[in-house]
Amino acid sequence: MSPIRDMLADSDITEQQWRVLRVLAEHGPQDSSTLASRASLLFPSLTRIARSMHDRGLISQTRDAEDRRRQIVAITPRGQEIIDRHTPAAVKIVEDFKVSLGDENYENLLDLLEQLHNNQKQDV
């Protein structure tokens, strides 16, 4: 996470907030439960983080039209600006990891991290 922290140092957002923005930019608007899972955050943590991000204009939150208990979260233009500004650096970080590990080891690492994530979801 150190390279990500360094990348975000001038943006005044945390790694967790970066993950929320990245997931929303990649997958579009989604309910809070799905967002928490995709961003690898506990739901109570996402609730706290989302409140702060909403207050700063980085995300929007609306009630689902069909199920008023569900909240739909979307990235705002201001949040997308952060993603756009940092995408080249994020791509470079990934490329550096690939060079350092090699393609096969990099893919194995991603598979192992996904397995770990899935195992943790089952334990909750």
Model pLDDT for residues 48-99, shown as the tens digit of each residue: 999 999 999 999 999 988 887 889 999 999 999 999 999 999 999 999 999 9
Q: Are 102 and 60 in contact (CB under 8 A)?
A: no
Fold classified for 2-123:
Arc Repressor Mutant, subunit A (1.10.10)
What pLDDT sits at residue 60? Answer: 97
User: With bands split at pLDDT 50, 70 and 90, how would you rate the model's confidence at 118?
Assistant: confident
- How far apart are the C-alpha atoms of 75 and 115, rounded to whole Å? 27
**Domain residue spans of the chain:** 2-123
Q: Is 62 left (phi over 0), alpha (psi -120 to 50) or beta?
A: beta
| Prediction pTM value | 0.84
- HEC states along the chain? CHHHHHHHCCCCCCHHHHHHHHHHHHHCCEEHHHHHHHCCCCHHHHHHHHHHHHHCCCEEEEECCCCCCCEEEEECHHHHHHHHHHHHHHHHHHHHHHHHHCHHHHHHHHHHHHHHHHHHHHHC
pLDDT at 122 over 70: no
